[in-house]
Amino acid sequence: MKNCHFFLLAAVVVVAAGCVKEPPPVVVRPLPGACSLDVPAAGAGVSKAQAVRIEGWAFNTLSQTVPKEVEIIFTTQDGRTSKSVKAERDLKRPDVASIFKNPTLEAAGYSVDVTLGDLPEGTYSVAVAQKDENRILFCQTPSVVQVVN
């Protein structure tokens, strides 16, 4: 009877070992989102007490379409503090359509007036989250904004 248990245990170990698979490799690809923050100018000082106008453009480079929604994300350099604001899809951008040779991209513009008074003073990177029906494309702009008193 002892030998029977040993063979049964050995069979379970062999079967279980065959079921364990290595995780798939991680594939890093650039996201198909293009964006720009045009206003305020890169490095501009933004007062905590006043509303600031945010303007730019965003689109999906693979489908050549504009997102249904856009959020602007301000994040401190250490990543500890951030704020997200929903932008309006109301800014016409014929310059973007012309540069990328696609008339659909005239609707790629976004804008929002926002007060950053709830953020601590400091340097913030600016990213754009583009939301479509089934995904969010994240685009990091090279722009930074200085929040000051």
Please give the class, per CATH, of domain 32-148.
mainly beta
Q: Say if residue 18's pLDDT is above 50.
A: no
What is the reported pLDDT for 23? Answer: 54
The pTM for the full model equals 0.74
* DSSP 8-state code for residue 65: B
- pLDDT tens by residue, 28-68: 344 578 999 999 988 888 998 899 999 999 999 888 999 99
State both tokens at 69: 């929604």
Q: How confident is the model at residue 17 (pLDDT cuts 50, 70, 90)?
A: very low
Tokens 């800014």 appear where? 91
* Residue length of the chain: 149
pLDDT at 10: 38
